[in-house]
Amino acid sequence: MQKIKNIAIIAHVDHGKTTLVDRMLVLGKLFRENENPGDLILDNNDLERERGITILSKNVSVQYKDYKINIIDTPGHADFGGEVERVLNMADGVLLLVDAFEGTMPQTRFVLQKALILGLKPIVVINKVDKPNCRPEEVQEQVFDLMFNLDANEDQLNFPTIYGSAKQGWMSNDWKTPSKDITPLMDCILEHIPNPKTYEGTPQMLITSLDYSPYVGRIAIGKLLRGTIKQGMPISLVKRDRSIQRSRIKELLTYEGLNKKKTDLVEAGDICALVGIEGFQIGDTVADYENPEGLDPIAIDEPTMSMLFTINDSPFFGREGKFVTSRHLKERLDRELEKNLALRVEKTDSADAFTVYGRGVLHLSVLIETMRREGYELQVGQPKVIIKDIDGEKCEPIEYLTVDLPEDYSGKAIEIVQQRKGEMMNMERKNDRILLEFLIPSRGIIGLKNIMMTATAGEAVIAHRFKEFAAYKGDFDKRQVGSLIAIETGQAIAYALDKLQDRGRFFVAPMEEIYEGQVVGENTKSGDLGLNITKTKKLTNIRASGTDEKVRLAPPIRFSLEEALEYIQEDEYVEVTPKAIRLRKILLKEHDRKRAKN
Ligand SMILES: Nc1nc2c(ncn2[C@@H]2O[C@H](COP(=O)(O)OP(=O)(O)OP(=O)(O)O)[C@@H](O)[C@H]2O)c(=O)[nH]1
Ligand SMILES: [Mg+2]
């Protein structure tokens, strides 16, 4: 029988999970170091590369000594917390990474708590000890306190700690004496992570994750808990509601290095991928054909936010995209539902619009960004948090929020968060910075980053994490300033923009094509203001030519997709095409907007 260890790597966003997994692959000689300097081999889709974050959890394996180590790299961003929680079901232990400078953060707490509840024993890895001013010992104690507060059991509290730098490629028992590679960590895994708990009997595999291939469709992933499974074998799928569906394993795969490899047989304890299981859902059990026994299903992430997706009906519709009709949009969303677990799509009264539910602005913006790269045009409405009625009370999602910033800015930051119904829970000094902790409605987090960055000269580090649905905290004004709106379609003219600079900040540059009803800037004052920025200078013979050179325009503000989504008001859309992100009023004509108001 093969010797196996199954581990998941968990941490707050950017604490170095993927960098460490890459190191393990190097150690296993699965790829050469510096083949793609700067690029993480595991963050392999375009968006992951560009944003430098992991979006989808991934399975890989390395051979170390006589063990096959299945490694699950997880995403650290809060929007993907549900994914982490789910894939932990495949692990028998976790590596909890903590940045030696930042220390424990909201997502550290969340993922650790989930691991502890599942009874998994952690190995704590204090990473990034190469950073100047890092404080590895203090952080180690902080992790202990956190575990204690999360009711870890005796065994879990007895966790081993390894220090090192994933970036520099070493791990050691002592941070002051660097080693030459990560073998101390690998040996620690063999010593402390338990072998998979397996049982004898008929096969049982809980489908925990899924993969998608355009050739074979959906692929079911999970750890085989009991028995053996074979290629070609008929099986029963035990659904969440305990109903049974017969199916057959067309192809059986396990993880080898970065790839999936076909195999004839899998024994209990290994993580595998099954092709050919029809109509499965996450949480279903693959079980014996004759005597199926289901395992307890796992929870699927509930959405916390929605946005309206609609076809592009701006005057520039169809200019830049290939897929622009409501049929295109519907088909694309249906396809996404096959693999994007936390996504829900609902029809609306209009055939051209859908309500799309997800886990947060990042989760949905990743989908929108992918679609635009594929050639889609669409418009997206303001993100809305999900309001629930719980026992007759109006409830909304509440989140933990931490803001880490230099002391000088703390007053300003607290004011901003309180204005958005945030409540301060704790304030902690560390070195020359301050860590503020709040509870805040998810509504208050939308657009917060933008404002906080401006108010703190880019110094604030913000993190948040869903806590619970709780009583609605009351209304507040999100954006105090209004929009500058184009009242003519045409080309933006430098002369006009220059004359109007005192009205606010512009989002468009001279020569850009704009349309009536487009949001072209931010009003310095509250309320919306219509402007004509297509006006050219009247040519008179009094003024000498050449005065145009005096036009000195502030560069336009350019929003990323996420920033744009977080910025818009309720009566505005973000228009997304392969070439542009524009903001617009839903009603393009000023008189229509006036009428709608009354
Ligand atoms: N100084 C230093 N930087 C590191 C170290 N490990 C990782 N980094 C850097 O930290 C950043 C984030 O690393 P990732 O490996 O992508 O972090 P992650 O935890 O996988 O991030 P998510 O998957 O998005 O949660 C990258 O810029 C890495 O180069 C380290 O040991 N020292
Ligand atoms: Mg990562």
Q: Indicate the range of 24-28, 158-162, 348-352 predicted with least confidence.
A: 24-28
Q: Indicate the range of 219-223, 477-481, 488-492, 591-595 predicted with least confidence.
A: 477-481
Whole-model pTM: value is 0.86
Q: Give pLDDT tens digits for 84-113.
A: 989 999 999 999 999 999 899 888 988 999
Mean pLDDT score, 172-187: 94
pLDDT at 551: 66
pLDDT at 30: 65
Q: What is the percent of the chain with per-residue pLDDT over 90, rounded to a whole number?
A: 73
**What is the distance in A from the centroid of ligand 1 to the CA of 354?**
37
pLDDT at 31: 62
**163 closest CA partner among 127, 131, 132:** 127
Which ligand lies nearest to the CA atom of residue 19 in the structure?
1
pLDDT at 466: 81
> Which burial class, exposed, middle or buried, applies to 533 when counting CB atoms under 10 A from its CB (0-12, 13-18, 19+)?
buried
Q: Give pLDDT tens digits for 381-416.
A: 999 999 999 999 999 999 989 998 999 999 999 999
pLDDT at 32: 58
Q: What is the mean pLDDT of the chain?
A: 91
Q: Give pLDDT tens digits for 246-289.
A: 999 999 999 998 889 999 999 999 999 999 998 898 999 999 99
pLDDT score of 46 more than 70: yes
pLDDT at 540: 57
pLDDT at 303: 86
Mean pLDDT score, 199-221: 92
**What is the distance in A from the centroid of ligand 1 to the CA of 180?**
19
User: Which residues place a Cβ less than 5 A from the ion ligand 2?
Assistant: 17-18, 54
Binning pLDDT at 50, 70 and 90, where does residue 213 land? confident
Non-local (6+) Cβ contacts of 360 within 8 A are 78, 79, 304, 305
Q: Which long-range contacts (CB under 8 A, 24 or more apart) does 67-70 make?
A: 67/3, 67/4, 67/5, 67/190, 68/2, 68/3, 68/4, 68/5, 68/270, 69/4, 69/5, 69/6, 69/7, 69/24, 69/186, 69/189, 70/4, 70/5, 70/6, 70/7, 70/255, 70/270, 70/271
How is residue 181 written in tokens? 């590679």
Binning pLDDT at 50, 70 and 90, where does residue 545 land? very low
Q: Give pLDDT tens digits for 364-387.
A: 999 999 999 999 999 999 999 999
Mean pLDDT score, 480-490: 91
Q: Which of 12, 14, 128 to mutate to test the pocket of ligand 1 (most atoms within 8 A of CB)?
A: 14
pLDDT at 27: 85
Q: Which of 18, 19, 127, 133 to mutate to test the pocket of ligand 1 (most atoms within 8 A of CB)?
A: 19
**What is the distance in A from the centroid of ligand 1 to the CA of 21?**
11
Binning pLDDT at 50, 70 and 90, where does residue 38 land? low
- Spatial distance between the Cα atoms of 217 and 33, rounded to a whole number of angstroms: 33
- Per the model's pLDDT, the better-predicted residue between 352 and 48 turns out to be 352
Query: In the Cβ-directed half-sphere of 447, how many Cα atoms lie within 13 Å?
Result: 19
Ligand 1, closest atom to CA 19? 15
From residue 277, alpha-carbon distances to 51, 237, 239, 250, 295 in Å are 34, 8, 12, 8, 17
pLDDT at 268: 96
pLDDT at 60: 94
